Amino acid sequence: MRNPSEIETMSAFTALLEKYSKPGPRYTSYPTAPYFHTGFKEADWREELRTSQSPERGLSLYVHIPFCDTLCYYCGCNMVATGEYGKATQYLGYLEQEMSRTAELTDPRRQVKQLHWGGGTPTYLKPDDIRKLMGMIRARFNIAPDAEMGCEADPRELTREHLVALRESGFNRLSLGVQDLDEQVQKSVNRVQPEAMIAQVYGWARELGFQSINMDLIVGLPHQNTASFAHTLDKVLVWAPDRFAIFAYAHVPWMKKHQKLINEADLPAFATRLDLQQLIHERLGAAGYLNIGMDHYAKPEDEMVKAQRNKTLWRNFQGYTTHKECDIYAFGASSISQTPEVYMQNEKNLKKYQELVGAGHLPVERGLRLTREDHIRREAITRIMCDLEMDTAAFGREFGIDFDRHFAEGLADLPPLADDGLIRLEPGRIVVTDLGRLFLRNIAMCFDAYLKQQSTDQPRYSRTA
C-alpha cells in the first residue's frame, strides 16, 4: 500500500496535469504547420534550394511511405490503407522523379548525416523494394558512412526478411509501433498484434544488430485503464528498448474522418488519462529511463540524453534530433522540408502529389519563409524544449534585443508556472525543473506570439496532457 505522503504527492501531481491540460502545439516547428500558406510556391522552394547550398551544411533526408495494409482507427498520419501493392511500386517511381529534381539543385559535396523513413508504414514495401528505394537515394545523395538511418515499422505483416533488407540498406535504427498490448484495446482500434509477435520482431532486430530500437506507445485509446496499461508497461520494460515515445491519443474526427469508427463512449475519462500519465512517469523513471521531454524517454547513456546535457539537442518534424546542423529534404506526399529560413510542405493528397510530380514539378503545396521575429521566437521555444533552460542575458546579446522588454507579455505568464514548480526563475535565467519536463508545451506556449494573437480561426491543437 502507498503511504499517505505518496498518495498526497500523487494527488498534487494529478491536479497539475488537470490544471495544465489545454490545447497547444507540439512545436515540431515554429511557426507551427497551420500557419504555412499557399502563397509560398514551387518557384520559392526552387530558389531556396538554389541559394542555400553550403557544402559544409549536412542533410537530413525524410521519405514518406503513405501505405498501410489495414486502417488503424486512431491514426493521425497521412496514409492510405490498401491491399493493392501496385500502388506502392507506382509511388516509388514518383519518389524517384522528385528526388532527382531535388538532387539536381543540391551541392553533391553535402553529406547526408541522417535519414528516416516514415508513414504510413515504410515496411509495407517488400524487401526488394526497400533495397530499390535505398538504391535510388544512394544514387542521388552522398550518404555519410556514419549516417543515422532509421525506419518506422509495424510488427504486423513484418518478416525477418524485411529487417534484413533494412540492415543491408544501411539502416541502424528501428522504431516499432507497439501502442498497447491489451487485446481489447487492440481490437477496438483495429490493430491486433499479439505480444509474441512483437517479441519475435524485437528479437530479430536485436539479432540483426540495430543500434537503437524505439517503441511507440499511445495513451488515451478506447478501454485503456491503469491496470491494463500497467501490464503493457511490465512487458515492454522487460524488453528494455533504448527509447520510448509515448504519445497521447488526439481524438480529432473532424480532421480524421476514420476516427469516427472509434466509439467515443469507450475512450478513457479525463481523470483516467491523467492517471495513465502519472503511471508512465513513475514506471519509466523507476526503470531508469530519463524524460527528455515531450513524451520521449531514453536510457541515460543514449546520445539524445547526452545531447540535451551538452545543449546540442534540436527539435524538428521528426521530433527530437541531434542533427541541428542539417537541412531537411523530405520526399513523398505531405512530407515537410526545412532550411534555416524556410518550411515547405508537399501536396498531401496522393493523387494530386503524383499528378504534380508526373507533370515535372516539385510538388509544393504550401510553405513559409521565417521573419526575424519568427527566428527569435523559435530559438526561445527550442531552448526551453531542448536545453531546458535559458540564459536570458546571453540570448538578448545574441539577437541584439532587450530580452525582458521583447518578451514582456510571455514573461508575465511565467510566475504562476514557477509557483507550481514547473520552472525556476533565477536572475537572468529560466530553468525547467524535472517536474516541468512533463509540461514543456505549456512553458513554450508563453513565448508563442501566434497563440497570443486574437483570432476567430486559431488552429485546433491536441491537449497538452
Query: What is the CATH number that goes with domain 24-331?
Result: 3.80.30.20
Fold match flag (24-331 vs 371-449):
no
pLDDT of 324 reads: 87
- What span, in angstroms and rounded, lies between the C-alpha atoms of 111 and 100? 16
Three-state SS sequence of 324-385: CCEEEEEECCCCEEECCCEEEEECCCHHHHHHHHHCCCCCEEEEEECCHHHHHHHHHHHHHH
Sorted by where each begins, the domain ranges of the chain are: 24-331, 371-449
Exposure class string for 187-215: b at 16+ Cβ within 10 A, else e: ebbbbebebeebeebbebbeeeebebbbb
pLDDT of 460 reads: 63
Q: Flag whether pLDDT at 110 surpasses 60.
A: yes
- Give pLDDT tens digits for 127-182: 999 999 999 999 999 999 999 999 999 999 899 999 999 999 999 999 999 999 99
pLDDT of 464 reads: 60
pLDDT of 450 reads: 93
Predicted structure pTM score: 0.93
How many other CB atoms are there within 10 angstroms of residue 110's CB atom? Answer: 20
Least confident of 152-156, 186-190, 323-327, 368-372: 323-327
Q: Flag whether pLDDT at 316 surpasses 90.
A: no
Q: Flag whether pLDDT at 396 surpasses 60.
A: yes
pLDDT of 1 reads: 45
pLDDT band at residue 2 using 50, 70 and 90 as cut-offs: very low
Pairwise pLDDT comparison (307 vs 6), residue with the higher score: 307
Residue with cell 502519472: 278
Q: Flag whether pLDDT at 5 surpasses 60.
A: no
pLDDT of 73 reads: 93
Strand partners, 290: 298
Q: What is the DSSP letter of 56?
A: T
User: What average pLDDT score do residues 115-138 get?
Assistant: 97
Q: Flag whether pLDDT at 7 surpasses 50.
A: no
Query: What is the CATH number that goes with domain 371-449?
Result: 1.10.10.920
